[in-house]
Amino acid sequence: MDGMAPGSRGGEIAARVEAFVREVVIPYEGDPRRGAHGPSDELVHELRRKARDAGVLTPHILPDRTHLTHLETAAVLKKSGLSPLGPVAVNTMAPDEGNMFLLGRIGTSVQKARFLAPLVAGGRSAFFMTEPAADGGAGSDPSMLRTMAVRTNAGWAINGRKAFITGAQGASVGIVMARSSPMDAKVAATMFLVDLPNPAIRIERVLDTIDSSMPGGHAVVTIEDLRVTDDQVLGAVDEGFRYAQIRLAPARLTHCMRWHGAATRAQEVATEYAVRREAFGKLLIDHEGVGFMLAENEIELQQASLMIDWCASVLDTGSIGTRESSMAKVAVSEALYRVADRCVQVMGGTGVTGDTIVEQVFREVRAFRIYDGPTEVHKWSLAKGIKRAALGRGAA
């Protein structure tokens, strides 16, 4: 299901990543340092040190700093996702993977040396976009952005609050999205690069969420009088939303890739259980209700893999892929949730315990249906496009 021919560049890297995840990472799944808010810094550093020694750290970015194609990346990231700790170990986890992609695309040479190089080497980052609903801030609707960036004699002063900021705790690099137009004017946003920790960026609390795979968890953050210089502007002033689109479509898809690997692993575990556990005089898999669930999973995993590879191929043409990535995000997240749910069901009581990784995969994939855009928002956006196209045909 990798979409890459044996012997291809992506296929070879994917095979090495898979071997590392299965042989080195999976034994860590019982490690108490996994934590409720994601793996501890100690565990992250230990896993990434082993990945570096094995030659699989940040495998989607080559030594010359060129990026694998999206299709090649799909082959690699699916294998990294075979354990929830896999992307953490080999440095393909969100938000770092998306931030590296964005910095590679629009960062200056100086910015790449200061901010990108440490991430490629295994550092961590955060993307400060979403804001608290209680403040009336931006969530699925970015035009509600309230964090303000105001010009000063020395650069910019930024103030606001952010929510659900993945990895803010423990990050060394931050990308802050702030409104660079007055509140009474049409919204324009700018991205700013910051070194972390920074006394002007205070973590109020780390939220207790259903998922627990991402280092640092998801934080509510206050930004108070953050001072940045012009050379910390990522790209051009007032172009933040355009750059966000460069990041968002590939980032949605890489989420699909990683969680496809996790759901594949859940299917493996559930299948192993079903071919060994007996009930009512025969193996579970020989009961039609159980066997059919596993068969449905195989079908949906293959469909999801093809959807990922199709969207990756579109992005490889140079298309921004907004429509295609929305379609893939909806189809894959919903399919993988059904796969994980069936795996829990097949395993019965064992499926809802922490005795196997299936329970965590179920939680993570449930959150994925919301992260990087809820299913309903993507459908709404697609429906608007359908309407525009239909009305345009009518006018013609």
Sign for the pseudo-dihedral over CA of 238, 239, 241, 244: negative
- The confidence score (pLDDT) of residue 10 equals 87
Domain spans of the chain, in order of start: 9-93, 125-238, 241-388
How many CB atoms are closer than 10 A to CB 180?
Answer: 23
Topology of the domain comprising 241-388: Butyryl-CoA Dehydrogenase, subunit A; domain 3 (1.20.140)
- For the domain spanning 9-93, the CATH number is 1.10.540.10
Its pTM stands at 0.93
User: What is the distance between the alpha carbons of residues 242 and 94, in angstroms, rounded to a whole number?
Assistant: 20
User: pLDDT by residue for the chain (396 residues), tens digit each?
Assistant: 455 654 588 899 999 999 999 999 999 999 999 999 999 999 999 999 999 999 999 999 998 888 999 999 999 999 999 999 999 999 999 999 999 999 999 999 999 999 999 999 999 999 999 999 999 988 888 889 999 999 999 999 999 999 999 999 999 999 999 999 988 888 999 999 999 999 999 999 999 999 999 999 999 999 999 999 999 999 999 999 999 988 989 999 999 999 999 999 999 999 999 999 999 999 999 999 999 999 999 999 999 999 999 999 999 999 999 999 999 999 999 999 999 999 999 999 999 999 999 999 999 999 999 998 999 999 999 999 999 999 987 654
Sign for the pseudo-dihedral over CA of 126, 62, 306, 249: positive
C-alpha dist (Å) from residue 293 to 99, 333, 350, 356: 37, 18, 17, 19
The gap between the terminal CA atoms of the chain, to the nearest Å, is 42
- The confidence score (pLDDT) of residue 40 equals 96
From start to end of the chain, where are the E strands? 125-128, 148-152, 155-166, 173-179, 189-195, 201-206, 218-228, 233-234, 278-279, 282-283
- The confidence score (pLDDT) of residue 4 equals 64
- The confidence score (pLDDT) of residue 141 equals 87
Whether CATH 2.60.120.10 fits 125-238 = no
Sign for the pseudo-dihedral over CA of 176, 334, 33, 96: negative
Q: Name the DSSP class of 22.
A: I
Q: Which residues is 128 bridged to in the sheet?
A: 176
Single-letter amino acid code for the residue at 324: E
Say how many CA atoms lie within 13 Å of 278 toward its Cβ. 3
The answer to whether 330 and 242 have CB atoms below 8 angstroms apart is: no
Residues in the chain: 396
- The confidence score (pLDDT) of residue 380 equals 95
